[in-house]
Amino acid sequence: MTQGSSRTGSGGVTRRAAIGIILGGVALGVSTSGAFDQVDTRRPFGIAVSDTNALVGLVDRGPVKKNAQEPMVTITNNTADTVSYTLTLDSCADGTLHSPNGGTGCSITFSLAGGNSGTVDLTATIAGTITYSISATSPTLSIQTTGSVTAETGNVAGAIRIQKPVRDQEFTAAPPQGNQGNVFEIKSVDVRDDDGDDDLVAVAYEVREGGSGGTIVGEKTVTLPPSNRYNPSGNPAETIDPNSGYTIQSGVLYTLIVTGTDADGNTETSTIEDTA
């Protein structure tokens, strides 16, 4: 962490109380550490770990998940005055910031009254390190610092929702009956993109003999253009033929595993059973 400072008129910020950069609950002084790299203030400052008079508190909430709105940093105004904060991504291509008052963009500005805190969220569009700048200004305070957060890939909980099938009654394993049967039937299907980017791209079905670790005896994958929902009509809504040469057997337990996948690689599954 580097420091640049210059004196202005009398009053306002004291030497000890100028700024605290708090990362994971630890106040940082002049050394570089954590996600915050640089501090510039108009007044000299000295910070100790035990300093309770820090005027600006920054708590790193990362890492965040790519393509999901998640908390990035919490800011606390420890002054008695209202302070205006501006956060700006170094590259707008890295994602979208969400301010505590509902504003969005690659640069956001919001105010916090004395003693209040607010959390800035980030929807990252890349994986890796995302850097940004923070400024805090009031009639008696002007502070700038830079920070970074890591965006990770991986499954984002809640990105996809399987509304149906989720109950055993919605899946039937039908043994042969004359010229009919020998088919797996799903009464209703409703799979939804649930993170607002409308990029559901596949719904896959696996039927296994026995439990979820049994041998696959039927499978089917439906691919679709990026969509907000897959909800086929019909009664049944979906049928799956057994693998070639396999016959559905009465009295045998069959397990259906439904998996929805979006363009970001997020998945959600539903597992149900039926005894033929």
| Interval 127-151 mean pLDDT | 92
- Backbone angles phi and psi of 168, in degrees to 5: -60, -35
DSSP class of residue 94 equals: G
- Rounded CA gap, 181 and 168, in Å? 19
Using the predicted structure, report yes or no on whether residue 14 has a pLDDT greater than 80: no
User: Using an 8 Å Cβ cutoff, are 26 and 56 in contact?
Assistant: no
Using the predicted structure, report yes or no on whether residue 90 has a pLDDT greater than 80: yes
Q: What pLDDT score does 264 carry?
A: 85
Q: What pLDDT score does 111 carry?
A: 97
Q: Which long-range contacts (CB under 8 A, 24 or more apart) does 168-174 make?
A: 168/272, 168/273, 168/274, 170/272, 171/254, 171/256, 171/272, 171/273, 171/274, 172/236, 172/274, 173/207, 173/248, 173/252, 173/254, 173/274, 173/275, 173/276, 174/248, 174/276
DSSP class of residue 113 equals: -
- Rounded CA gap, 107 and 82, in Å? 20
Q: What pLDDT score does 153 carry?
A: 84
DSSP letters, 171-208, are: EEEE--BTTB--EEEES--EEEE-SSS--EEEEEEEEE
Output the CATH code of domain 160-275: 2.60.40.2550
Using the predicted structure, report yes or no on whether residue 215 has a pLDDT greater than 90: yes
Per domain, the residue ranges of the chain are: 2-152, 160-275
Give domain 2-152's CATH superfamily.
Immunoglobulins (2.60.40.10)
Domain 160-275 in the same topology as domain 2-152: yes
pLDDT digits (tens, 9 = 90+) for 51-70: 445 678 888 898 998 888 89
Please tell me the number of Cα atoms within 13 Å of 180 on its side-chain side: 3
- What order do you get walking across the sheet with 253-262 strand by strand? 216-227, 200-209, 253-262, 267-275
User: Using an 8 Å Cβ cutoff, are 250 and 274 in contact?
Assistant: no
Cβ neighbors of 198 (< 8 A, separation 6 or more) are 226, 227, 228
| Interval 232-253 mean pLDDT | 97
More confident call, 168 vs 8: 168
Using the predicted structure, report yes or no on whether residue 46 has a pLDDT greater than 50: no
Q: Which of 74-78, 88-92, 103-107, 217-221 has the lowest mean pLDDT?
A: 74-78
Count H helices, E strands: the chain?
Answer: 0, 24
